[in-house]
Structure 1
């Protein structure tokens, strides 16, 4: 009987996680369908996975969790609330901070900083935390579109264009400003001009730990420098070892299933991009208003904006493509890896519905702005 229970318990655990995790469930189901349509060895599937990206993601998750466990985010959150006692002002500040930060340290790194900070506010206030995190995710998509190093697709297209850093930034500036202004126009709709109410239980002294704090503060820049130099795997292993020594709880409490989601996503989206029907759809969409901008937007809604960039780069002009895949980061959650990271870090009930409630209108507004701007320049 015990043997049967031991054999069944992993199956029960996996089934429960699948049922309570719509992204993992959908990616697993899609993988089964694609494997049935195009059977291939597991070794071929493994080659489709961007392992270096997963290693970077693992390191950032560990550093972010260590910072969260230190307790200092709660302290900094209190200081933030002391200066911003109104819900709308707080939302505007977090949107601007997220957008500017993402242009400097990339969109995913920005989220690993601002989302834990925002979650710290949940313990002190009755703020709509899920909505705040949704707007932060939208803000990093908008802000990161400005910089050649703001997101992976910009980095790739910057290298492809041959432009200097400032030249690329100048081309993307109108889009980035437009996206941030559109998002800021949505803030008054989403957040009332109301005072922030503190929870009575939040007035106590927060538990603070120095070791996890310093491990994160020192680890962040060192990890990013090592990654930039190409030492991705050693950097991730180093962060893992440090966390096992000074913040072991961080290692065992990060969302490891998020990595499984990304493994499945890399495989699924790579296979989808090779389907002949997808190539035919791309050729058809080029005839639509907006041209390469619209193709970039729509393909991002299907396979995410980084794979869309790789698929289209060789057969598209880089500038409208860069605008299209940046706009395509809005809309469906799969449009950008940053969206998935934010939603998984949040662990807030109803956040998937809340995300699409604001992201889909943002996609429509951003798409319209990009196409109209392009048409105005061509007159």
Structure 2
């Protein structure tokens, strides 16, 4: 009799756990649909609101406890974004943004040249200062340039998304997931490994972006390239912002030296961002306005995302999607990175699967495939990369709506071409014993 009761209780727990798992996945799918549609009846739902609804849903239905939800929020990422948002506001408030716009306008004599400058400058800068940083600073800059050049603002934002995502692939500090991967392979020099294995295909992949997005910029005529700017009232002098950049460059430089085993001490990236924000805060002439203009909605999005993703991958559903064999195949790892990053985001994907994919003695080709696949996932859909969300959020704050279908119309061919480039190149260098 007691065995029957115990067996019944075990079956009840098993069924309830399965139901909770399915409910967590259903909430994730609904959030994905809301972000894609962003319209319910006559009410427009922004990305951060969709993610907040999802986080509230898993909390309300008991998919995750309040304690686990609190611990799921990554403080390093939150502090990093906060620091970079402050620096970004300093760039806009000091007049440096206007100077950047003038420089690009001066050198861009056609729409195609403008596209090339966006891809080259934003892409390569993201490899040094992290793609999220360039997304924060670059979004208002590119929106202003699009207005001056009379080109599609959604198209310009998509170009920025593709550029900062692709340009960050070959750098261990180009994006959070690469930084995470690099921390798992201390026996290798990640800077040398990433440069040799990913720099050339990254340059080729940036060429793919130019080829596919060129029609959006082709109709710009030289006479439209008028860059007369209305200089806004400077709320901060320029030298504190320059000091912030010096702090960022020095901090990143120490990380590079540490990765090359030249310097044995580095500073966490979130500390670098917060230290860089201090001069802007201290010397700002209007601190209330500075903090008011910070993109708090994006910070809410990330906190909600951490909660929702924790509840989803606690179910173990996505871990079961990877087979026990064949995980060393470059194409498989890259495909898994691209596809699974759409539903659990690329940073959680790397954190979730690194014990399986980055075991001791793992082939460098698997490391490169994991870095490339999880990063170019950001070119497939808006949800594939955090930098996309930052850019889209800032665009929506300025009244620019970027539909998911428009993003995917260009993102799908870009991602397919880039997957082929990275896969072929990684296989090629492996043939020579790399």
Q: Is 1:132 aligned with 2:183?
A: no
Q: Which residue does 1:11 correspond to in 2?
A: none
Q: Is 1:315 aligned with 2:356?
A: yes
Q: How does 1:208-227 map to 2 (within 5 A)?
A: 208-209=233-234, 211-222=236-247
Within 2, Cα distance between the matches of 1:236 and 1:219?
A: 4
Find 2:88's aligned residue among 49, 58, 64.
64
Deviation digits for residues 123-149 of structure 1 (CA, Å, limit 9, x no counterpart): 534222331121111111111101111
Find 1:110's aligned residue among 120, 134, 137.
134
Distance change (3 Å), C-alpha of 1:36 and 1:361: farther
Distance change (3 Å), C-alpha of 1:172 and 1:68: same
Within 2, Cα distance between the matches of 1:30 and 1:372?
A: 38
Deviation digits for residues 257-303 of structure 1 (CA, Å, limit 9, x no counterpart): 11111100011112212223222223399689922111111111111
Q: Is 1:187 aligned with 2:213?
A: yes
Query: Shift of the alpha carbon at 1:19?
Result: 4.5
Within 1, Cα distance between the matches of 2:272 and 2:104?
A: 34
Q: Is 1:229 aligned with 2:280?
A: no
Query: Shift of the alpha carbon at 1:346?
Result: 2.2
Query: Given that residues 343 and 352 in structure 1 are in contact (C-alpha distance below 8 angstroms), is that contact kept between their aligned partners in structure 2?
Result: no
Find 2:418's aligned residue among 356, 366, 369.
366
Deviation digits for residues 300-348 of structure 1 (CA, Å, limit 9, x no counterpart): 1111111111111111142322222122222111111111111112234
Q: Which residue does 2:391 correspond to in 1?
A: 342
Query: Given that residues 146 and 156 in structure 2 are in contact (C-alpha distance below 8 angstroms), is that contact kept between their aligned partners in structure 1?
Result: no
Deviation digits for residues 240-269 of structure 1 (CA, Å, limit 9, x no counterpart): 742665554221122211111110001111
Structure 2 unaligned blocks of 5 or more? 1-39, 253-265, 358-365
Please report the TM-score for the alignment, with normalisation by the length of structure 2. 0.74
Query: Given that residues 87 and 276 in structure 2 are in contact (C-alpha distance below 8 angstroms), is that contact kept between their aligned partners in structure 1?
Result: no
Q: Is 1:81 aligned with 2:105?
A: yes
Within 1, Cα distance between the matches of 2:291 and 2:248?
A: 16
Query: Given that residues 285 and 291 in structure 1 are in contact (C-alpha distance below 8 angstroms), is that contact kept between their aligned partners in structure 2?
Result: no
Within 1, Cα distance between the matches of 2:324 and 2:61?
A: 24
Find 2:378's aligned residue among 329, 333, 343.
329
3-state SS, counterpart of residue 163 of structure 1:
coil
Distance change (3 Å), C-alpha of 1:206 and 1:174: closer
Query: Shift of the alpha carbon at 1:206?
Result: 2.3
Query: Shift of the alpha carbon at 1:35?
Result: 2.8
Give the aligned CA root-mean-square deviation in angstroms: 3.1
Query: Shift of the alpha carbon at 1:51?
Result: 1.3
Q: Is 1:283 aligned with 2:323?
A: yes
Q: Which residue does 1:250 correspond to in 2?
A: 290
3-state SS, counterpart of residue 99 of structure 1:
helix
Please report the TM-score for the alignment, with normalisation by the length of structure 1. 0.83
| Higher gyration radius (CA) | 2
Q: Which residue does 1:120 correspond to in 2?
A: 144
Higher mean displacement: 97-106 or 38-47: 38-47
Q: Which residue does 2:360 correspond to in 1?
A: none
Distance change (3 Å), C-alpha of 1:262 and 1:236: farther
Q: Which residue does 2:168 correspond to in 1?
A: 144
Q: Is 1:352 aligned with 2:403?
A: yes
Query: Given that residues 269 and 303 in structure 1 are in contact (C-alpha distance below 8 angstroms), is that contact kept between their aligned partners in structure 2?
Result: yes
Higher mean displacement: 357-366 or 54-63: 357-366
Q: Which residue does 1:168 correspond to in 2?
A: 194
Distance change (3 Å), C-alpha of 1:263 and 1:29: same
